[in-house]
């Protein structure tokens, strides 16, 4: 049964959807213009393959807008425009660097939009997902471990993240992180009171009972498996950090953050001394110049790109980002900084801050515990992943090989991120609809009184 909606809220929803559509149209125009500028900097004709595909993707974004208006009219109006902005910006630079990858990215964008639409249509009530929490856990763990299966997993650039089925290559970890967050949220809602219990203090800090630290230990062990077996530092950090912060949000106990920091530090130190690929990443981060012709080449080239970009950049299509290996994937932000300068790089960071801020606002406004924790976890995936890759490219932290959400080339990541946006929209719509219904009932009661 649909809750009654006040006329003022219907007006607000209509205005929200109009603003959302206007932003998407503006972003599409800017994206198409940027693509033409990039293309015409090198040639005088329009690519007969990429241009129609880009127009088709923009048309699919319009379809996504219509589905949002139909299925989540009260949802947050900034999430989809920001995702579209970052996605089209990524396409412009991928097309600049590798037209073949750009053509593949348009296909993945279409799959991502289809996933976005399917998620909104099929998931009408977040509470339904709670019933399948252990199924999500099982499927998530199996999916996460697929790359280590002999004959199925593939190692690319030193990390064993890929699975190949026929001609299709994908990263199952991108799907696993969403499934595991769904499990974490439902599990923490169920066990929240037990995990809040802290019977003793150490140095004045409440410490949870040892028997209740199993979930944290499990997450720590899983992150170590990812780091050791898959040689993937980024996913290891992302997985563990998301779970620890969700645990803190669920219980309100700062001790969980402290324990998480201790466990992460211990794992990082052990990894540095026991595994060569971890030590290489750290040494390259500390001083890439002695190995600038080898292991530090990518990072040094990225630093040169940042420096040559200056304040306003070299201009679309006028830089040399192709000098950076793996620029469409790991180092796409360096390409943005070179051709758009500090202004463009700051704009991209601002877009991510707005995206994460919107997700956290949805979490804060959510009244149901499951919705609050799920919105927090999904937003953390986007926020922490963005921090890890931007920090690595700018040499703030050791470099890890994960994708920049919506911008980097990567089909699995793009599909998973569009699913995240759809789930956040569903939570937002449910929260705002419930609030409007409560206000309508209160207004009716006051009128009757």
Q: What is the per-residue DSSP string for 49-62?
A: THHHHHHHHHHHHH
Token pair, residue 221, equals 């062990």
* pLDDT band, residue 3 (cuts 50/70/90): very low
41 by DSSP, 3-state: which?
coil
Report DSSP state, residue 1.
-
Report d(CA 41, CA 317) in Å as an integer. Answer: 5
Report DSSP state, residue 230.
S
Give residue 356's pLDDT: 97
Token pair, residue 147, equals 């790359």
Q: Are 414 and 334 in contact (CB under 8 A)?
A: no
Identify which of 44-53, 58-67, 399-408, 420-429 has the greatest average pLDDT: 420-429
Q: Are 335 and 97 in contact (CB under 8 A)?
A: yes
How much is the average pLDDT of 294-305?
90
How much is the average pLDDT of 33-62?
80
Token pair, residue 2, equals 């649909």
Q: Angle, to 10 degrees, between the axis of helix 254-274 and the axis of helix 276-286?
A: 100
Q: List the one residue out of 402, 395, 271, 258 whose CA is nearest residue 330.
A: 402
Percentage with pLDDT > 90 across the chain = 34
Q: List the one residue out of 192, 179, 191, 177 whose CA is nearest residue 129.
A: 179
Query: Is pLDDT at 204 greater than 60 in this prediction?
Result: no
Report d(CA 258, CA 315) in Å as an integer. Answer: 45
Report d(CA 201, CA 278) in Å as an integer. Answer: 35
How much is the average pLDDT of 127-147?
85
Report d(CA 176, CA 436) in Å as an integer. Answer: 35
Give residue 231's pLDDT: 66
Q: pLDDT tens digit string along 264-274?
A: 888 778 878 87
Q: pLDDT tens digit string along 323-381?
A: 888 889 889 999 999 999 999 999 999 999 999 999 999 999 998 999 999 999 999 99
Residue with the two structure tokens 């609809």: 433
Query: Is pLDDT at 205 greater than 80 in this prediction?
Result: no
How would you classify the pairing of strands 200-202 and 205-207? Answer: antiparallel
Identify which of 39-53, 173-187, 227-241, 431-445 has the greatest average pLDDT: 173-187
How much is the average pLDDT of 108-129?
93
* pLDDT band, residue 138 (cuts 50/70/90): confident
Q: What mean pLDDT value characterizes the chain?
A: 83
Percentage with pLDDT > 70 across the chain = 83
Q: Are 374 and 185 in contact (CB under 8 A)?
A: yes
399 by DSSP, 3-state: which?
coil
- Helices and strands per DSSP (H, E), number in the chain: 14, 5
When comparing pLDDT for 202 and 400, which is higher? Answer: 400
Give residue 210's pLDDT: 57
Identify which of 33-37, 156-160, 176-180 has the greatest average pLDDT: 176-180
Task: Characterise 410 by phi-psi region: left (phi > 0), alpha (psi -120 to 50), beta (else).
Answer: left
């Amino acid at each position: 049964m649909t809750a009654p909606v006040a006329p003022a809220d219907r007006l607000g929803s209509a205005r929200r959807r109009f603003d959302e559509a206007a932003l998407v149209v503006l972003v599409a125009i800017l994206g198409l213009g940027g693509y033409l500028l990039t293309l015409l900097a090198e040639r005088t004709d329009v690519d007969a393959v990429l241009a129609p595909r880009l127009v088709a993707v923009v048309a699919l974004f319009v379809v996504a807008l219509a589905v949002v208006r139909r299925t989540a009219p009260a949802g947050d109006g900034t999430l989809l425009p920001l995702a579209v902005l970052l996605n089209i910006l990524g396409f412009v630079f991928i097309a600049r660097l590798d037209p073949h990858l750009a053509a593949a990215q348009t296909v993945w964008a279409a799959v991502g939009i289809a996933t976005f639409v399917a998620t909104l249509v099929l998931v009408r009530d977040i509470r339904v997902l709670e019933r399948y929490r252990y199924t999500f856990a099982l499927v998530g763990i199996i999916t996460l471990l697929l790359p280590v299966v002999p004959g199925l997993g593939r190692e690319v650039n030193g990390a064993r993240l890929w699975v190949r089925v026929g001609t299709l290559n994908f990263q199952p970890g991108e799907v696993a992180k969403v499934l595991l967050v769904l499990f974490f949220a439902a599990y923490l809602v169920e066990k929240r009171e037990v995990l809040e219990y802290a019977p003793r203090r150490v140095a004045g800090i409440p410490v949870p009972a040892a028997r209740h630290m199993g979930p944290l230990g499990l997450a720590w062990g899983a992150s170590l498996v990812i780091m050791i077996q898959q040689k993937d530092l980024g996913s290891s950090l992302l997985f563990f950090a998301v779970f620890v912060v969700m645990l803190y949000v669920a219980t309100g106990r700062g001790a969980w953050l402290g324990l998480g920091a201790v466990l992460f530090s211990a794992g990082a130190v052990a990894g540095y001394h026991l595994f060569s690929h971890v030590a290489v990443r750290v040494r390259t981060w500390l001083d890439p110049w002695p190995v600038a012709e080898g292991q530090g080449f990518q990072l040094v080239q990225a630093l040169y790109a940042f420096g040559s970009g200056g304040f306003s950049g070299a201009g679309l299509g006028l830089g040399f980002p192709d000098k950076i290996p793996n620029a469409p994937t790991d180092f796409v932000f360096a390409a943005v900084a070179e051709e758009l300068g500090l202004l463009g790089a700051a704009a991209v960071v601002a877009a991510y801050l707005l995206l994460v801020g919107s997700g956290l606002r949805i979490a804060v406004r959510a009244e149901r515990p499951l919705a609050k924790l799920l919105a927090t976890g999904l937003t953390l995936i986007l926020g922490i992943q963005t921090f890890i890759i931007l920090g690595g490219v700018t040499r703030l932290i050791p470099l890890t090989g994960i994708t920049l959400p919506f911008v980097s080339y990567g089909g699995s990541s793009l599909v998973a991120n569009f699913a995240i946006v759809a789930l956040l929209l569903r939570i937002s719509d449910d929260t705002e609809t419930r609030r409007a219904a409560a206000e309508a009932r209160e207004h009716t009661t006051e009128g009757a009184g």
